[in-house]
Amino acid sequence: MQNDLFLLDTSVWLLALKKDLISEVKDRIDHLLKEDMIITTGIIRLEVLARTKTEREFQRLKSRLDALGNIETDNSLWQKACELGFKLRRKGITVPHTDILIAACAIKTESTILHADAHFDMMAKYAKLKVGKFHQGSKRAWLTTSKEITACSALIQLFPTAHREFAEGVFPTSAMNR
């Protein structure tokens, strides 16, 4: 059964808290909050709340984060995080330990982690991690999912120079028909 819960990484919360908030990010988060589909964990609370500047801002954000479902970081979750960190390191992948813990939380709950941080996409290649990435342009943002990232990776493997040629405007149309 597919889990419809979303774990928002700190990188997405920081996007959402910007004064010049991008509407696509705000709309997506607002929808998920209204549908009670967002969960969190202690490390994300720490990362978000530690960045607040005033007591008022701290209390406002704390009450909002406390209203979300919480993933407890018990001993079994820490063990899963240790195993994931070991597995990644053996593959030559180095990511911050906080991101490994957050990934372990998402894996445990079978939730999709929404992020704006390349580390989660790297981990998703080696773990059962469902990801959705917010990409930022100058005035807008868009979301890609694990399935879209896998499809893009497969296309790049089939056409290794296609992404460069496409960016340069010389993408061969014959390659698109293969």
51 by DSSP, 3-state: which? coil
Q: What is the pLDDT of residue 66?
A: 95
Q: Which CATH number does the domain 6-145 belong to among 1.10.3720.10, 3.40.50.300, 3.30.360.10, 3.40.50.1010?
A: 3.40.50.1010
Inter-residue contact 31 to 21 (CB < 8 Å)? no
For residues 49 and 17, give the distance between their C-alpha atoms in angstroms, rounded to a whole number: 12
Query: What's the mean per-residue pLDDT of the chain?
Result: 79
* Domain residue ranges in the chain: 6-145
Helix 42-49 to helix 55-66 angle (10° resolution) is 160
- Decide: 117 and 14 in contact? Cβ < 8 Å: no
Q: Are strands 130-136 and 69-71 parallel, antiparallel or unpaired?
A: unpaired
Work out the pLDDT band at 170, boundaries 50, 70, 90.
very low
Distance CA 85, CA 80 (A): 9
Half-sphere exposure of 9 (CA within 13 A, CB side): 24
pTM: 0.74
pLDDT per residue as tens digits for the range 16-62: 887 776 677 778 888 899 999 999 999 999 999 999 999 999 999 99
